[in-house]
Amino acid sequence: MLQLFDSLSAQVRELRLRDEGRASIYLCGPTVYDLPHLGHGRHALVWDVLRRWLVFSGLEVDFVSNVTDIDDKIIERAAAEHVSEAELSTREENEWWRAMAALGVAPPNHAPHATAYVEEMVAAIVAMLDSGAAYELSDGVYFDTSRVGDYGALSGQSLDSLRAGARVEPNEAKRSPLDFALWKRAKEAEPSWEAPFGAGRPGWHTECVVMSLALLGEGFDLHCGGLDLKFPHHENERAQAVVLGQRFAQHWAHHGWVMVGEEKMSKSLGNFTSLTDLLGQTDPRAYRLLVLRSHYRSPLEVTPETVADAERALERLDALARRFSLPALAGERLELASDFDFSGEAGVLRARVSSAIEDDLDTAQALAKLFDATSQANVLADRGNPRGAAQLARAIGALCAGMGLRLHASDDEVDETSADLVSEREAARAAQDYARADALREELSRRGWIIEDTPEGPAMRRA
RNA sequence: GGCGGCGUGGCCGAGUGGUUAGGCAGGGGCCUGCAAAGCCCCGUACUCCGGUUCGAAUCCGGACGCCGCCUCCA
């Protein structure tokens, strides 16, 4: 079973499943007020890979990822654009799913919206008020962090040291600067929901704890998200679960940043590249490859150079797919190992890749094994073992698909004119008119085709 | 100030107490009409200073540099 770093115990340990054969995972999703950037892309890809691998390995996976569709940022942005909050969040959410689809990220089994769970959140807040873990101020309801003895456990800090580091809060009425809003009373013209403690909207931290428990139940297996969510967001979710008396996530996992030079990419720093921009000019699989070949907890540098590097690396795998005419493992369903033949060398490879991934999601190591196997398959084919080579190549394709990376054999439709040019070139070559043959290859190149002469004849692919 | 992380060959980027990471780029060769793809060979890295050890880039201590969280953030 998978060994995974757990942020709460601060060690790599086995991901234990509450229900045998079934994993329950919650991933904090986007607040939809702006375009997703490369950091969100990494976030989605890292956990998509984990999820796919579990499915590939034969587990049922309940994967829940929320959409925050009401929040201060949404209200601000909507006002600035003179559109309704709903209009803005719908638009941006569509953009999000478009980007996810382009990246090949499988949709969650559930994508709960904050606005659809307000009733449940109100009930939770009432319970916290009743138990004295929450208190009311003029502008809303706040959580009393002093009520949770081990507040800070997730971030490895004590209440005192957190308090010492807290910056001055605008709301001086809070009992502690660490206390956070469970409910914000509505100001003029803001979207709001009725509640016993006054009309308003839920705080962000309440949404995730309520929705994860509602959909996955108590003691679900894994809660994951970006490192920046560890504190305060996840800490606060956990604190609420504690005072609500509900068993919460049994394992916490956080992934690292996308870096721009020496800085974290973030919306606040304004140094971000939108996913839409990247996907417009790059094969999305190259970004997945880039993410896969670094460790999920390490910072990852994304520059035009590293992206181009990944594109060329991907080309090596695609070349393998072409050489062995690997079937396109397409389709919306997640791939299953049981659909493939992993006997012999293929099984050895599968074991290597599995043990790498199960070692705290060491996809870089897994990929290294796949590249080794790529050489191996090519060598086998070069040395007269086409069957062994093809079997290994199929395993490589399947294992890549298990991580969500689909290799492309060339299945480009060759248009009639180009096909004629290819025939002409073959004729020229047969007549040893190489000047003519090269001119035709040049012509095909201008038409966007790369032509390779193989023992089986000319092979065409899009440049 | 508190907490956490990082520093690897031209670039990206894993990992590890002694045995090849991997990719990309580069050089040489084979194959090819020439290419492409593929194969073979080549660089011999781990911030610095101490220490532990038969042996450390890997463990310990220190120094320097950098990053992040402590406020919204994947």
Nearest residue to nucleotide B21 when comparing alpha carbons to its C1'?
Answer: A368
| Residue ranges covered by each domain of chain A | 3-259, 282-402, 416-462
In strand B, which positions have an atom below 7 A from any protein CB? 1-4, 6, 11-15, 21-25, 32-40, 66-74
Rounded CA-CA distance A362/A290 in Å is 13
Question: Which regions in chain A score pLDDT beneath 70?
Answer: 167-172, 328-333, 411
Quickly give A266 CA vs B26 C1' distance in Å: 35
Quickly give A318 CA vs B69 C1' distance in Å: 40
Half-sphere CA count of A452, side-chain side, radius 13 A = 12
A429: which nucleotide lies closest, measuring CA to C1'?
B33
Quickly give A290 CA vs B6 C1' distance in Å: 19
Q: Which of A37, A38, A16, A107 is nearest to A286 (CA)?
A: A38
Model pLDDT, residue A329: 57
Quickly give A303 CA vs B25 C1' distance in Å: 16
Nearest residue to nucleotide B5 when comparing alpha carbons to its C1'?
Answer: A298
Q: Is the peptide bond before A170 cis (omega within 30 degrees of 0)?
A: no
- Measured between its terminal Cα atoms, the distance across chain A in Å is 41
Model pLDDT, residue A419: 93
Model pLDDT, residue A173: 82
Model pLDDT, residue A267: 79
- Residue A376 tokens, joined: 């191996």
Phi-psi sector, A261: left (phi>0), alpha (psi -120 to 50), beta = left
Does this chain's domain A3-259 share its CATH topology with A282-402? no
Per DSSP bridges, beta strands A263-264 and A300-301 are unpaired
Question: Are A41 and A77 spatial neighbours (Cβ–Cβ below 8 Å)?
Answer: no
- Residue A404 tokens, joined: 């969500």
A162: which nucleotide lies closest, measuring CA to C1'?
B70
| ipTM topping 0.90 | yes
CATH number of A282-402: 1.20.120.640
Model pLDDT, residue A16: 94
Rounded CA-CA distance A224/A234 in Å is 9
Quickly give A254 CA vs B55 C1' distance in Å: 37
Model pLDDT, residue A425: 96
Quickly give A435 CA vs B35 C1' distance in Å: 13
CATH number of A3-259: 3.40.50.620
Please state the three-class secondary structure of chain A as a single string. CCEEEECCCCEEEECCCCECCEEEEEECCCECCCCCEHHHHHHHHHHHHHHHHHHHCCCEEEEEECEECCCHHHHHHHHHHCCCHHHHHHHHHHHHHHHHHHHCCCCCCECCEHHHCHHHHHHHHHHHHHCCCEEEECCEEEECHHHCCCCCCCCCCCHHHHHHHCCCCCCCCCCCCCCEEEEEECCCCCCCECCCCCCEEECHHHHHHHHHHHHHCCCCCEEEEEHHHHHHHHHHHHHHHHHHCCCCCCCEEEECCEEECCEECCCCCCCCCEHHHHHHHCCHHHHHHHHHCCCCCCCEECCHHHHHHHHHHHHHHHHHHHHCCCCCCCCCCCCCHHHCCCCCHHHHHHHHHHHHHHECCCHHHHHHHHHHHHHHHHHHHHCCCHHHHHHHHHHHHHHHHHCCCCCCCCCCCCCHHHHHHHHHHHHHHHCCCHHHHHHHHHHHHHCCEEEEEECCEEEEEEC
Model pLDDT, residue A261: 74
A60-86 CB burial, b ≥16 within 10 A, e <16:
ebbbbbbbbbbbebbbebbeeeeeebe
